[in-house]
Amino acid sequence: MNLTFRKCNWQSEDFIYLVSKLDKDLSIRDGDEHDFYHQYNSIDQLDYVIVAYADDCAIGCGAIKPYRKGTAEVKRMYVDDKLRGQRVATKLLKELEEWAITEDFTKLILETGIRNPEAIAVYRRCGYQRIENYDQYAEMECSVCFAKELV
């Protein structure tokens, strides 16, 4: 598999397509809580997006969104289920981290759901540490938040 990564923004057709697949997956995983999470996952104005391609076919995506000075939030991470287990998400996350550093972010934070064990495993494998749930996720028992210092 020839894996490549392309930087873009929220207007990328490939990103929009992959996010639609992500949302379908999350609506099943999240069940009744999906509407709560969905309101915080708008893609418009995500200016730091990376799409992963396998032999020129869009297979994964992720983004970072400025959160506060020096900190960005990882958003909309997804890898096509047919390619999971091949470290695509790990490589994609590394690309996002490197881009974040070039944009002067020194820390990344993120939220995922307890019903998404594959994502939790990726984040832990990549050195993310569990933190207290932040902002809108503070009272959500099915949310898990992580952070990683980049420098």
DSSP annotation string for 28-76: HHHGGGHHHHHTT---TT--EEEEEEETTEEEEEEEEEEEETTEEEEEE
Q: Please check the confidence at residue 38 and state whether its pLDDT lies above 60.
A: no
Domains and CATH numbers, the chain: 3-149 (3.40.630.30)
Backbone angles phi, psi at 116, to 5 degrees: -125, 65
pLDDT tens column, 68-88: 999 999 999 999 988 888 899
Q: What is the pTM of this model?
A: 0.90
| pLDDT tens per residue across span 96-127 | 999 999 999 999 999 998 888 899 999 999 99
Q: 4-13: b or e for each residue (b if 16 or more CB lie within 10 Å)?
A: ebeebebebe
3-state percent breakdown (helix, strand, coil) of the chain, nearest 5 = 35, 35, 30
Helix (H, G, I), strand (E, B), or coil: what is residue 21?
helix
CA–CA separation, 61 and 80 (whole Å): 9
- Contact between 143 and 106 under an 8 Å Cβ cutoff? The reply is no
Q: What is the DSSP pairing of strand 107-113 with strand 48-54?
A: unpaired
Torsion of CA 25, 26, 29, 32, to 10 degrees: -130
- CB half-sphere exposure, 137, CA atoms < 13 A: 20
Q: pLDDT averaged over the chain?
A: 90
